[in-house]
Structure 1
């Protein structure tokens, strides 16, 4: 038996039952990772061992199988099959998310009302002693442990939620079919959203990614409009930057950024030429069609598409997500980070509307929400 397979088998054994020990889990993981780094043994065999254990997991067992999940995710990042992990992991994830939310609600229900006169010193002590944070509230360790006797599955699901969600993200970002399946699962999407502030933030962001979606982009100052394809976009900063590259190819005024930055954000290259991007626009939703976008201060902030948000926050107009483009309010500097390194992203123009179509759509949008 090879070292990596033996380490995988050892890991699957030590997580069983409610009396598993974290030190033994860590030791088994360290042995497995060392063998992986050394190329020592049958990586696919070890992966199969881990997947078999995951396939037999039950959230009600309250054991440490989350550590098997994240170890399998590490093997996916090293080249193992994302599809195989996703096929096993996705059906197991929903009960974990529900159990985590259940225990989070119990913990929050034991806390005093939010902002109940707690001074800064007391708050600092609470945060230092927190087991974790849920919905931006620290959960003291003693409180977290108090409910474990009655709901160990919920407690373990919540505490180790990152161990479940990170390998899920690793699998979904490497396999488009899996990601499409997950995004289409409304119950999964809602469950991830419910614990986004309890350890599932990046899974929630990923499940809001736009894949192969057609948007409308209206440029009222130029009197032009475009249909664009938005694909693999997880955040509005990336949307902004790749949209600027797409529109710049059609002579819409944009900021001067090196082409290599766009290739980096698309996932074409892994070397980023600099750590910032100059923003090109203010982006608004369709309701800004009733405003003079030449003066950003005159556009109601309810219409602004904030860079910190996600594409799914952009509302639909006549069944299509619609952006209104205006000049930036001063010089804008955007970070050049890539949200998900293994998920290709792109925005490209599909076709240009006629001037008449553009004006008609702008008029209908303005009439629908006259700010």
Structure 2
């Protein structure tokens, strides 16, 4: 999940909204009755969802910076290679000109007139002119290429500078989100033991009910049950990560966010996919939910802010949110936006 956050006004408004939601949720915890716990759960979900959206934006811009740095390095290397070649060809052209000068520097027509073998002289003169023209053409083309590469490098460097500026701006947003997450964790831990049990039971019941409704549509009778060879490798990788903590912005090996887990799982299967859930939704092949198979990715929520790896039998492996670990959960426990297939 990575991408630049919007304008400063948006970030300020979002921060104020989160702070207000958090204050309201804290006040609700203080009252602590069953209905209040329902409201607290809703506020926590909104808080973590907003944090996940911000994570996706941050991850996206971080990926853009990394890719742009690679482009700049590649262009710089190409400029250097072009300059080295141009220097070498220029030196060779100069050496050829000096050699021609030492031979007398006579025009080809004069050499033809004085030659004992006019036909051979004509051949030599024609080849010499062709060689000279070819050398000049190559030098001109290479000089143009060098100029173009320098322009492209300068443009790419400007883009990189802007992206890095965006990332620096987002560092402050990252700290704000981390503070919100810490506050949310503190709010959860401040609940009495019985309240925490009730909250956990409420979450479990909500997930179970959502899954039952999803399964009740008969969807599991339609979906595929066999993963491809690559899909099996992705599932095996994700399975090995069970129990590792969610840390936003991480992609292993010790901790993951949701898209960090899915992108690394498929990378282990030999398939490179976008880093963020939003880009996975935007760029990978969409398949109908009824046609999905183990190894496919399920994208959640209308803003594509969460993603999980479908492993079959109506279950997913995902890195859910801060304070949780990579785990197996019901595929229908959250709002499904759609399904994408990395190895289509």
Shorter-chain TM band = under 0.3
Higher strand share: 1
Higher helix share: 2
TM-score after normalising by structure 1: 0.26
Quick check: which has more Rg, 1 or 2? 2
Work out which structure has the larger RCO, using CA pairs closer than 8 Å and 6 or more positions apart in sequence.
Answer: 2
TM-score after normalising by structure 2: 0.28
